A and B are shown apart, each in its own frame.
Chain A
Amino acid sequence: QSALTQPPSASGSPGQSVTISCTGTSSDVGGYNYVSWYQQYPGKAPKLMIYEVSKRPSGVPDRFSGSKSGNTASLTVSGLQAEDEADYYCSSYAGNNDLIFGGGTKLTVL
């Protein structure tokens, strides 16, 4: 299986919104509502930000939202803040209890 496709980078100014895409196939993203998004700071473990396409774990700001259309999932960060600068990874269930990750997107807050 190939990794899910994410743009290598994204950027926005404080207060703006930015959307990161995650493209897969009908065998993963398009086939299941089990897309997750993770935030990772350098040298730290990833943190779950979104699960089941659009649900937020307790404690994650509602500035973070997720959606899906067809084989592409998206993470939107609204009201960008300096602390949102990090790497973001999507993942999807891929059948047979398999999991697949995206290549990651480096989000820069200008």
Chain B
Amino acid sequence: QVQLVQSGAEVKKPGASVKVSCKASGYTFTAYYMRWVRQAPGQGLEWMGWINPNSGDSNYAQKFQGRVTMTRDTSIRTAYMELSRLTIDDTAVYYCARDRGDTSLTSWGQGTLVTVSS
């Protein structure tokens, strides 16, 4: 079955960067876009961007452009999301999710809590 397993929780200081990984199994990794979504405590879902694991092409939500980088390593079926210049407002659970092909997200990782605190 499809599984997305994310890296563990992180605590970072303001101004630092964080890199979250998402290891895929149970399907052809390069066949489906991967999207990243975050959820601040008590808040709703926020789309951050996507990566095409086949080509490496990516596209980011305007809010995160210049601060986020999405990459992948096809040899280990893993997608990455790196967010730089962290602020307190970046404290959130970050999810990777497989795009069905029509922007619906059929499978989700378990989430990675990133806490930004001085």
| Chain A interface residues toward B at CB < 8 A | 1, 3, 34, 36, 38, 45-48, 51-52, 57, 89, 91-93, 96-104
A99 to B46, CA, bound (A): 9
A101 to B111, CA, bound (A): 17
Residue of A nearest to B59 (CB): A97
Contact B103 A45 (CB under 8 A): no
Contact B111 A91 (CB under 8 A): no
Residue of A nearest to B48 (CB): A99
A29 to B46, CA, bound (A): 16
Contact A34 B103 (CB under 8 A): yes
Chain A residues with CB under 8 Å of B103's CB are 34, 36, 91-93, 97, 99
- CB contact under 8 A between A51 and B59, given known A45-B95, A45-B108, A98-B47: no
A98 to B95, CA, bound (A): 17
Chain A residues with CB under 8 Å of B61's CB are 98
Contact B104 A48 (CB under 8 A): yes
Contact A89 B45 (CB under 8 A): yes
B75 touches A (CB below 8 Å): no
Contact B108 A46 (CB under 8 A): yes
B55 touches A (CB below 8 Å): no
Contact A38 B105 (CB under 8 A): yes
Chain B residues with CB under 8 Å of A91's CB are 45, 47, 103-105
Residue of A nearest to B61 (CB): A98
A3 to B45, CA, bound (A): 10
Chain B residues with CB under 8 Å of A36's CB are 103-105
A47 to B45, CA, bound (A): 12
B118 touches A (CB below 8 Å): no
A99 to B50, CA, bound (A): 9
Rounded to whole Å, the gap between the CB of A23 and the closest CB of chain B is 15
Contact A51 B104 (CB under 8 A): yes
B109 touches A (CB below 8 Å): yes
Chain A residues with CB under 8 Å of B19's CB are none
